Amino acid sequence: MDELNKIAVLYGGTSLERDISLKSGEAVYRSILDLGYKSNLIDFKGLSSLNILKKYDFIFIALHGFEGEGGELQRKLDALNIPYSGSSYEACFNTWNKALTKEILRQKNLKTPNWKLIEDNYKLESLDEDSNLLPFKKHSDKEFSSTIINTFGKKGSVFLKPITDGSSLDIYKISSNKQFLESIKSSSDPNRIFMIEEAIEGREFTMTIIDEQCYPPIEIITKNQFYDYDAKYLSNETRLEKAVLNNEEMENIMEISLSAFKALKCRAWGRVDLMQNINGEFYIIEINTVPGMTNHSCVPRSGQFLGLSFNDVVKKIINASL
């Protein structure tokens, strides 16, 4: 990092995660200044505007949503030979699509909750009382439950989520056909492709990985149904606790997280989200290549458990990316 002089923090953009990106970027920007480097905040204006970044020695990507996590930004920066934080195009592409992520994990024999795509990106006007919605026919909650059992082999709630987007936006825990319809209609973009995912009941964890080192796992404790957008960024009641696990569990969660990180070809830094069921088995939910860096975020919190300040964590991310 000593050879660096001027670092740009790329943030903002136009996605639904813009507000979080602004907070992440501002926090990272202040940290880079504290570390003694020249820096500028740059609000992302599209791939065609990236030539202005050539005057910087390094780009810290704090840009959430497709613009920062979908891979096209990384591919363009590689073409311009501009160093940047985090994973390359392939890993971002693989992790941005949750269904593709799960396919790759399954190929590597890594556990992830069962899922089923809801084909296709149907139109909002088709969501009426008489429509047939795959995989759920619009008839009754009993039929909905039957479909769940046929799909996942058990009763209970499932998650409805878009196969893209982050920050837990438009993710719903549902247990009836009525909730299914209401959730689709209330989402920010009903025309996306969604999937249903088996709900693993148990403890929720997240693992920060920087430079192929697993940081202390965090157990997420929330009063919400799950770790949704509100719990992540707005609620002061969400607790990010240092996970209490026995030796075997700790070895398992570290091995599984690092294996998933490598299977998706991630590099430098990221975050792996997991659930542990009542039998103690860990399931990978998703991998994040541009995690949040706000005062509510898990990555700096995990660093605290190692005695690292926010500035220390930012410096380690940059060093790992070079």
Residues known to be catalytic: 17, 167, 233, 271, 273, 286, 288, 292
Cβ–Cβ under 8 Å, residues 61 and 288: no
Of 320, 311, 297, 258, which is closest to residue 86 (Cα–Cα)? 320
DSSP SS3 for 123: coil
Among 264, 269, 322, 261, smallest CA distance to 300 is for: 269
Distance CA(231)–CA(58), nearest Å, equals 32
- AA identity, residue 245: L
* Residue 43 identity (one-letter amino acid): D
Q: Which helix (H) or strand (E) holds 286?
A: strand 282-288
Q: Are 232 and 271 in contact (CB under 8 A)?
A: no
CA–CA separation, 283 and 83 (whole Å):
33
> With DSSP H G I counted as helix, E B as strand and the rest as coil, what are the percentages for the chain, rounded to 5?
40, 20, 40
The answer to whether 289 and 84 are in contact (CB under 8 A) is no
Which residues is 271 bridged to in the sheet?
208, 288
Query: Tokens 């220390």 label which residue?
Result: 312
| 165 CB-near residues (< 8 Å, 6+ apart) | 15, 16, 17, 65, 66, 192
3-state secondary structure (DSSP) of residue 292: coil
Task: Give the closest residue to 246 by CA, choosing from 276, 212, 209.
Answer: 276
